[in-house]
Structures are given as structure tokens and as C-alpha cells.
Amino acid sequence: MDDLSLLSQIVRISPGSRNIPPPLRPSSCRVALIRSPMWPKAGPGTRGAWEQADRVLQQAGATVVHVELPNVFNRCYDWRETIVSSEARAAFLPRYLQAKEQLHSSIRKYVESKEHPSGEAVCEAYDCIGQLRNQWDKIAGEFDFVLTPSVPDEAPVGLEWTGSSAFCTLWTILHAPALNVPGLVGDSGLPIGLTVTGPRSADRSILEAGKFVGELFEDLQPAP
């Protein structure tokens, strides 16, 4: 994490409206735990890791607040699909015309589909997502950082599929910085991380928060 923080300075990542963040102290740290609208998809591994993280943060002295996002955030997923359907068609069309057989079927479908979102639907998605980004900044800005699930559960068995990205979609469409912090494990002993996020342009603060959370999680691991 220290390397990432140094790199962020080298490439001139701005701390945004905040000053360069000082190291977090548990006794003065305010943390929002947000399960996100995808919580029903969480399996036993993620649910167990969630409860453990909540307990560890409170035992460390942090002020932990469980926050429920307004229902309008549930629509982000539909708006995201509308935007992706529109932008992906334009992005992949040149390659499709050159060598469509080299594209995966999941990519070709964006070009070949006859059911593209209307211009009105695309404009609505852009406008509504823009409003929610401002709302998100206000919600997350009340805390030092937000902790949220990263994945539904442990990684699936085999190499055919790397797992669902459902828990990441919201932060992508909101342009929120998101950092997965490992250190917890599921029922089968496979690693499960949680995501540290916050307002837009708070990348430097999120790196500092990730270091703070990572050190707490490290203390949970048995000595070798």
C-alpha cells in the first residue's frame, strides 16, 4: 500500500478537495458499512467476512455506522446496462467489421443486437447517474471511508469462470475509487476481501484507508 501511495504522488494523482490524508487512527475513525443493493447475492463466506470486519473495526475503537443507500441507487444497474449497450456498440463496431470471428460472442452481441436502447433512454441514464454521483459524494463524504462487499463468496472452483463482478458494478458506474483489501477467508479457506471506497477523487484517502483496514485484517491471521 505504501508503494501505491508513493506511485500516486509520482503520477500526480490529486487528493481532490481533501488534503493529503494523515494516517487513520482507530479512536477517531468514522466508517460506513454499506452492504449495497447486491447483498441478497452474498453467500456465507462474504456474510461471515462482513460480520468479522464489523466486529474487528469496533474492537479497534472505530465508530462504525451501518448505512442503507436510498432505493434510487438500485436503478444504477439498469442504467449501467443501458450505457454499456450504447457505448459498446460504437466501441466494438470497427473491430467487428474487420474480423468479427476474432471477437467473443459476448462482445459480438452488442453489435449484432437489434434491441438497442433509444436515445432518450441513454440520455436519461447519463443524467440520472450524474445526479447519483453527486448524492454518493455527499453520503460517503460524511465518513473516513466506506466498507462494502467485493464478491458474492469465495472464488468458484476451476478456471472456467472467475466469479461475479456484481458487487463492483455500483462503484464503477458512480466513478468511486474502489480498493479490494484481502485478509479474510471463507468456509473453504479461500481468501475473501472487502472493498474500501469513498467519494470521487478521494483516491489518496482510499489508499490510506486500505492500509488501515489491511493492518487490522493482518492481525486476524494465525502466525505461521
CATH code: domain of residue 198: 3.90.1300.10
What range does the domain containing 170 cover? 2-218
Residue 7 has pLDDT above 70, yes or no: no
Does residue 110 lie within any of the structural domains? yes
Query: pLDDT tens across 179-189, in order?
Result: 999 988 888 88
Angle at 98 between CA 93 and CA 102, to 5 degrees: 90
The residues near 194 (Cβ < 8 Å, ≥ 6 apart) are 49, 50, 53, 147, 148, 149, 150, 180, 181, 184, 213
Does residue 224 lie within any of the structural domains? no
Does residue 223 lie within any of the structural domains? no
Whole-number pLDDT of residue 11: 61
- The structure's pTM equals 0.85
Averaged pLDDT, 80-104: 92
Q: Specify the number of domains making up the chain.
A: 1
Alpha-carbon distance of 198 to 216, in angstroms, equals: 19
Which residue has better confidence, 24 or 68?
68
Q: Which percentage of the chain shows pLDDT scores above 70?
A: 88
Residue 10 has pLDDT above 70, yes or no: no
Whole-number pLDDT of residue 161: 81
Whole-number pLDDT of residue 15: 55
Does residue 99 lie within any of the structural domains? yes
Whole-number pLDDT of residue 224: 46
Alpha-carbon distance of 148 to 145, in angstroms, equals: 10
Alpha-carbon distance of 178 to 161, in angstroms, equals: 22
Residue ranges of alpha helices (H) inside the chain are 2-10, 44-59, 76-99, 105-112, 119-140, 169-173, 203-218
Confidence of residue 195 (pLDDT cuts 50, 70, 90): very high
User: Among the listed ranges 16-20, 123-127, 150-154, which one has the minimum average pLDDT value?
Assistant: 16-20
Does residue 142 lie within any of the structural domains? yes
Does residue 209 lie within any of the structural domains? yes
Averaged pLDDT, 198-224: 84
